[in-house]
Every structure is written in structure tokens, then in C-alpha cells.
């Protein structure tokens, strides 16, 4: 009989591994294909969303130059001779041109002593008291600089040489630098003021241990006291005079203690470097029209790039009949719609001259991009930069020149609001009684002390200089200088004004509002004779009024709106009670778009949330792949075992077949015919 042929590895000839691989592929193939397709779509979405985010970020970056009014209203300042006069301008400056002459540079005082035989020999003992100020040309009295420090240097056996005095002065570090000049005949002490200006001239009062403070012996040789009659207190040589810088601006002379004039013209800083002589320097300020125009053009350029990017990733191309990866995406569509609505914002109630972007030459085309009429834009910027800035930046203004817009909250509503003032802010003040001196005011040392509390700050002991004052006004001026020279008050920015009115001294805080107050805590006998007794003064009052018809919160000179004007703050600088015009507030296009994009692009914004969603979906696909691989691994193991067993069975059957074939072949008659 014919034999049975073995086929596997053990005779079955079955490719178990290949068969199992095909079965596993057939089982997992559809799922793998589905996951691959899903992942490819998500990766395409991630790439498209990244491109969209990048376009939004580029657009956001161009808004930075347009969101703040001070950035838009940048001024360019020019000088015809920068070697003599430099100029810078802030956004508060106005356009203009000025003819400026520098008549005199500011200078610090320098005093030089007589010649001493040696810088090591003892001079004398006592003290040197340094004051800074100037001499009143009418009265001949010394007028102290209230902002300067009075410093006393003690001279003892340890430092009573020129070298020792130099070291003591420099170590005290109070605004005077001491140096020594050695010549053939001896040594001189040179004292140089560190601050320029007439008000920073030095007065050196000597208390000499030898009992004579003005002679030319001992420590008195360093005296410099211009208040003494006949010049007997002037024992040092003034080698350089303390003087102010003097400018003539369009014919008007202005003096300043240093060479930097920052208040002569609002918003303009003038730095004088040299005297101009017969040739005035022309200074001019103007808005940076080119810079603002470029910033607006960049804004339009990046906006258009963003719109084109959106069209590529979320639009539909009718020619190729293909849609972008984010076509129909609600988030992308919502973001773009909000940006477009913001671009179309109307500012008619706030900015009647330029009430929309189209009014300055920026128009929307059919494809959603913007186009610029360059001539119209430049004309608008040149005509009224302030109004143009309101179209883009967060800005506020008041129609009354004595009302200043301060700020608004992020949630404040745009609009124009009527301002009505029912009470102006007042200063806290103290009113003294009638002086006991009559027409003359004699203040003695030891009876001249005073302690005050101003705006909640208590002074150190204040001393009114002892003197025979000729009038109440003269006392008021001296008392004001003494109070404002108090170190504690200076550290806390506290100051007062003192006036002599109707035979009474009135001390008023420079601050306004309910936190403003002047109290006299204690006073010496002669101060009490001035009518200034320990007593509480009257507190100031906050400004009261309405903004937008609703009562506002007053604090000092500032009013903060409530209700529909909530968060809008103004400062009432003066004027009268009653209707005071309007205050307007706007959040321009760039400011609104900036806030919008900050929310979208922030760490917890919509795009960040969307990106996290993509990552979670990728992670989910990874988990599905892992689950599939585990399931297929189990199936593979099961099938391998099953087919391996089958292979073994077939192999045994082949062996049995071979055995039977062999046995049958040896039976009697096997292989014989019939």
C-alpha cells in the first residue's frame, strides 16, 4: 500500500510561527490601522494648532508698542548743539520749539584755608558746625537749605591737625569733601561742596576751645560765617562760589541748583553742558510720527499673517477641494471671531474725531485681512496723536485742566462720565493763639524747642533759631524751614507751610484729605509766647463728588467711581465745586486684543487646554496600543501552544502510519500478486 509522507518539523511540515504571525496580524490589524489613523490626525492637529499659536503670538508681540499711551505718544527731541545742551522728552511733553541760552553753569562752593606750616601740627580744639543754605541779600541772614543736613564735627586731641580734620570731615560723609594742598610755603585745607547751587553754600560756625570763635588763631582759622558783621567770621577764602545754573528760554530767565532742568518745560529734560555765548541753541520736541506709523503697520501686517494662517489650517480650498486640518474647529473659529469683533470696535462715545480704525485708514477686505491707506494714517497721526492713541491703548482724559485722570480697573466700563464736585479736599492745619510778644519776636536759646505730629508722624525736637525777629512773617519763614528740616519728617515725606495771618501763626500740612493733620505735642516758653501751645489741630477733609452721576469714594484729592463708573479714578487738583466737565476712559483695540490674547496664550488659557487635550488623546492611544499588544501577546501564546500540540499529534500519526506500513509489508502474501 502507498506510504503516508511526514510533513511537520517532526514530520508535519506545518510552519507554526508563520501561521500564528498571520493570524495575529489578522486579529490586530484593524485596530492598529484605526489607532495609526487617529494618531496621525491628532499629530496633524497639534502641528496646525502650533502654527496657529505661533501666528497669534507674533500678533500679540506687535501689540506691545500700542497698548500703553506713553509708548504711542513717544516724543522725539532734538538740539542744534548737543555739545552745549542736551534734551530728552517724555510722553507728557507737548510739541514745540524753543530758543535756549545757557548763561551760567551750576557750581559747587569751594573754600580754601590760609597756609599752615604743617598738616601734622595741632591747630586747636572745639567743633566745626556745617550748614548749607544761602545769604538773603536783603536781610543778610543765612537761609538754611531745608533739605540739607546740619553736621557738627568735634575736634579733639586725636584729630586737631589739618590731616586729622580732613579725615574727620570725609569720614562723616555729609556733603563736603576735604583735601590738602601742599606747597613750598606750607599746607592748605580745601573744602569742596558736593552739591551745586546757590542754596548749597557752606556756613562753618566754629566753637573754639580758646574762647574766641572769630579770630585768626586756633580752630577759628577755619571759620566761614558770612552772617557776622564786618566779615569777622570769614577766615577762609572762597575760591569757587556756589551758584545756580541760569537758562534763558525764549527770553525768560530760569535758575536751577544743578545743570539738569527737568521742570522748566513740562515733560522736557534739559541738560546744560556748556555756556552758549552769543549763539542760542534751538530745542524742539515732536511726536514720533514715524515710529507710531511703523508700529501700526506692523500691527496690520501680523494681523494679516494670522488671518492667512487661519485660512490655511482651518479653511477650505475650493480649487483643490481640500480642507485644513482644523476646518470646522469651534475654538479656532471662536478666537478669530472675537479678534475680528474687537478690530471693528467703535469708540464714537469717547473719541468723536477718530471713532474706529477705518477713520484712520485701516479697512477690512472681503477675505478678512486689513488694508492701510498710508496717507490717511499718517495724516491722522500728525493731526492728533492723542486721539489716535485712544484707538489702540488704554487711555483716559479729563476735559477740565485741573482734573487729572489717574487710572481704571480692568473691569471698568469704557465711556465718558460727567464729574461733579461737591467739596474740594482740604489740608489739616493748626491755628495758634495771639502772640504775647506784640510787634517784636524775641526767641531765646533754650526756650525755642518744639515737637509736632504731622500726618501721623511725630518729629524729633525742633528748634526755632534764637534771634530777634522783626516781623511775624519772618518768624513764619524761619519756623517753616525748621519744621521741614526735621530728619524724621524728611524721611517720611512730611512737610508743612507756615503763615502769619491776622496776628496768628497757621501751620498747614502739605498733604490733603482726612489723613492730613497738624498737632503741637510740646513747645518751649518762647514758642508758647508765639501763641503756639500744645494742642490738636484740625484734620483735613477728603474730596467729595460724583462720577457718572453716582457718588464716588473720596481719598485725599482722589475720587474713585462706583456703579457704572466703578474703578475709574481721578485727581482733583483744585478749581471750584460744581460741574467739572467729563472724564473719559477707553480700552483701545490693542489693549483689548492684548488682554484677549493673554487669556488665550496663557499657561491656563484655551490653547494650552487644547494642547493638553491633544496630549491626553495621544496618551490614550498609547494605552490602547499597550492593551492591544498585551491581548495579542496572550493570543500568540495560546495559538503557538495550540498549533504546537497539533504539530506533535500529526507527527505521532505519521510515526504510527510508518509503523503500520512497515508491518503490513511483512505479512504473508504482502507484495505478491492476487
332, pLDDT greater than 50: yes
193, pLDDT greater than 70: yes
Average pLDDT over residues 46-55: 86
Higher pLDDT, 51 or 3: 51
Which residue is associated with the grid cell 484605526? Answer: 34
For 510-539, how does the pLDDT look when each residue is reduced to its tens digit (9 = 90+)? 999 999 999 999 999 999 999 999 999 999
The pLDDT-based confidence of 671 (bands split at 50, 70, 90) is: low
CA distance 580 to 578: 6
452, pLDDT greater than 90: yes
Residue 298's H or E segment, with its range, is helix 289-314
With a CB cutoff of 8 Å and minimum separation 6, the contacts of 278 are none
Short-list 399, 367, 364, CA closest to 589: 364
The reply to whether the predicted model has a pTM over 0.75 is no
CA 642 from chain centre, in angstroms, equals 78
Average pLDDT over residues 442-456: 93
357, pLDDT greater than 70: yes
State whether the Cα torsion 380-381-386-392 is positive or negative: positive
Average pLDDT over residues 449-457: 96
Domain boundaries, the chain: 75-106+245-287, 110-240, 403-425+543-587, 427-529
DSSP 605: S
Q: What percent of the chain has pLDDT over 70?
A: 97
The whole-number pLDDT of residue 3 equals 38
Q: Let me know the angle formed at the C-alpha of 259 by 257 and 261, rounded to the nearest 5 degrees.
A: 85
Short-list 300, 313, 342, CA closest to 600: 342
Region at 246 (left for phi over 0; alpha for psi -120 to 50; beta for the rest): beta
State whether the Cα torsion 484-488-490-494 is positive or negative: negative
CB neighbour class for 594 (10 Å; exposed up to 12, middle 13-18, buried from 19): buried
The whole-number pLDDT of residue 70 equals 81
Higher pLDDT, 669 or 621: 621
Average pLDDT over residues 276-303: 92
CB neighbour class for 264 (10 Å; exposed up to 12, middle 13-18, buried from 19): middle
For 471-515, how does the pLDDT look when each residue is reduced to its tens digit (9 = 90+)? 899 899 999 999 998 999 999 999 999 999 999 999 999 999 999
2, pLDDT greater than 60: no
Average pLDDT over residues 162-181: 96
The pLDDT-based confidence of 241 (bands split at 50, 70, 90) is: very high
632, pLDDT greater than 60: yes
Q: Let me know the angle formed at the C-alpha of 500 by 498 and 506, rounded to the nearest 5 degrees.
A: 50
For 4-13, how does the pLDDT look when each residue is reduced to its tens digit (9 = 90+)? 333 444 456 6
Look at the chain and count its residues: 674
With a CB cutoff of 8 Å and minimum separation 6, the contacts of 640 are 16, 17, 20
CA distance 68 to 370: 22
CA distance 274 to 278: 12
Average pLDDT over residues 212-222: 92
Radius of gyration of the chain (CA): 45
The pLDDT-based confidence of 673 (bands split at 50, 70, 90) is: low
With a CB cutoff of 8 Å and minimum separation 6, the contacts of 137 are none
Please state, in angstroms and as integers, the Cα–Cα distance from residue 244 to each residue in 81, 100, 302, 660, following that order. 22, 16, 52, 133
57, pLDDT greater than 70: yes
Which residue is associated with the grid cell 544743578? Answer: 258
178, pLDDT greater than 90: yes
286, pLDDT greater than 70: yes
Beta-strand ranges (E) seen in 34-106 are: 75-79, 85-89, 96-104
Cell numbers describing residue 491: 524721611
Residues 353 and 384: beta-carbon distance below 8 Å: yes
Short-list 253, 245, 236, CA closest to 195: 245
Chain-wide mean pLDDT for the chain?
Answer: 89
The whole-number pLDDT of residue 6 equals 39
Amino acid at each position: 500500500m502507498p506510504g503516508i509522507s511526514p510533513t511537520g518539523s517532526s514530520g508535519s511540515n506545518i510552519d507554526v510561527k508563520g501561521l500564528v504571525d498571520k493570524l495575529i496580524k489578522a486579529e490586530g490589524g484593524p485596530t492598529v490601522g484605526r489607532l495609526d489613523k487617529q494618531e496621525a490626525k491628532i499629530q496633524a492637529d497639534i502641528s496646525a494648532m502650533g502654527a496657529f499659536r505661533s501666528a497669534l503670538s507674533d500678533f500679540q508681540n506687535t501689540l506691545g508698542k500700542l497698548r500703553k499711551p506713553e509708548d504711542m505718544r513717544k516724543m522725539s527731541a532734538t538740539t542744534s548743539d548737543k555739545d552745549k545742551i542736551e534734551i530728552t522728552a517724555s510722553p507728557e511733553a507737548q510739541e514745540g520749539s524753543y530758543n535756549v541760552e545757557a548763561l551760567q553753569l551750576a557750581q559747587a562752593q569751594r573754600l580754601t584755608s590760609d597756609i599752615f606750616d604743617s598738616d601734622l601740627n595741632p591747630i586747636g580744639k572745639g567743633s566745626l558746625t556745617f550748614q548749607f543754605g544761602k545769604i538773603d541779600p536783603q536781610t543778610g541772614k543765612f537761609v538754611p537749605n531745608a533739605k540739607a543736613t546740619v553736621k557738627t564735627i568735634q575736634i579733639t586731641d586725636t584729630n586737631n591737625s589739618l590731616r586729622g580734620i580732613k579725615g574727620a570731615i570725609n569720614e562723616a560723609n555729609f556733603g563736603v569733601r576735604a583735601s590738602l594742598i601742599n606747597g613750598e610755603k606750607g599746607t592748605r585745607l580745601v573744602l569742596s561742596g558736593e552739591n551745586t547751587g546757590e542754596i548749597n553754600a557752606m556756613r562753618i560756625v566754629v566753637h573754639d576751645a580758646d574762647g574766641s570763635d572769630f579770630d585768626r588763631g586756633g580752630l577759628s582759622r577755619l571759620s566761614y560765617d558770612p552772617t557776622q558783621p564786618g566779615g569777622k567770621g570769614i577766615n577762609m577764602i572762597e575760591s569757587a562760589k556756589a551758584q545756580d545754573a541760569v537758562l534763558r528760554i525764549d527770553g525768560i530767565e530760569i535758575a536751577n541748583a544743578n545743570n539738569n532742568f527737568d521742570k522748566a518745560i513740562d515733560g522736557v529734560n534739559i541738560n546744560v553742558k556748556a555756556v552758549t555765548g552769543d549763539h542760542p541753541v534751538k530745542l524742539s520736541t515732536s511726536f514720533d510720527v514715524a515710529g507710531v506709523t511703523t508700529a501700526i503697520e506692523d500691527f496690520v501686517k501680523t494681523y494679516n499673517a494670522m488671518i492667512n494662517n487661519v485660512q490655511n489650517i482651518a479653511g477650505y480650498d475650493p480649487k483643490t477641494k481640500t480642507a485644513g486640518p482644523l476646518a470646522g474647529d469651534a475654538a479656532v473659529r471662536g478666537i478669530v471671531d472675537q479678534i475680528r469683533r474687537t478690530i471693528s470696535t467703535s469708540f464714537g462715545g469717547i473719541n468723536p474725531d477718530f471713532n474706529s480704525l477705518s477713520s484712520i485708514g485701516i479697512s477690512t477686505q472681503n477675505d478678512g485681512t486689513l488694508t492701510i491707506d498710508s496717507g490717511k494714517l499718517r495724516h491722522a497721526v500728525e493731526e492728533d496723536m492723542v486721539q489716535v492713541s485712544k484707538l489702540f491703548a488704554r487711555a483716559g482724559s479729563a476735559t477740565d485742566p485741573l482734573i487729572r485722570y489717574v487710572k481704571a480697573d480692568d473691569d471698568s466700563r469704557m465711556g465718558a462720565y460727567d464729574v461733579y464736585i461737591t467739596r474740594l479736599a482740604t489740608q489739616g492745619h493748626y491755628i495758634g493763639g495771639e502772640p504775647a510778644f506784640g510787634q517784636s519776636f524775641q526767641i531765646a536759646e533754650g526756650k525755642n524747642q518744639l515737637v509736632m505730629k504731622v500726618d501721623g508722624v511725630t518729629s524729633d525736637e525742633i528748634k526755632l533759631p534764637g534771634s530777634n525777629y522783626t516781623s511775624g512773617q519772618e518768624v513764619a519763614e524761619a519756623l517753616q524751614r525748621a519744621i521741614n528740616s526735621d530728619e524724621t519728617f524728611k524721611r517720611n515725606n512730611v512737610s508743612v507751610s507756615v503763615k502769619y495771618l491776622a496776628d496768628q501763626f497757621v501751620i498747614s500740612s502739605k498733604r490733603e484729605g482726612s489723613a492730613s493733620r497738624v498737632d503741637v505735642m510740646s513747645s518751649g516758653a518762647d514758642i508758647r509766647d508765639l501763641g503756639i501751645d500744645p494742642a490738636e489741630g484740625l484734620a483735613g477733609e477728603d474730596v467729595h463728588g460724583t462720577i457718572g452721576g453716582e457718588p464716588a469714594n473720596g481719598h485725599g484729592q482722589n475720587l474713585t467711581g462706583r456703579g457704572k463708573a466703578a474703578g475709574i479714578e481721578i485727581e482733583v487738583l483744585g478749581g471750584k465745586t460744581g460741574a467739572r466737565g467729563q472724564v473719559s476712559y477707553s480700552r483701545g483695540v490693542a489693549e483689548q486684543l492684548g488682554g484677549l490674547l493673554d487669556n488665550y496664550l496663557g499657561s491656563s488659557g484655551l490653547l494650552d487646554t487644547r494642547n493638553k487635550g491633544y496630549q491626553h488623546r495621544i496618551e490614550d492611544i498609547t494605552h490602547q496600543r499597550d492593551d492591544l499588544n498585551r491581548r495579542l501577546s496572550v493570543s500568540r501564546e495560546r495559538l503557538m501552544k495550540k498549533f504546537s500540540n497539533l504539530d506533535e499529534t500529526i507527527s505521532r500519526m505519521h510515526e504510527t502510519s510508518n509503523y503500520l506500513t512497515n508491518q503490513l509489508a511483512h505479512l504473508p502474501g504482502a507484495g505478491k500478486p492476487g
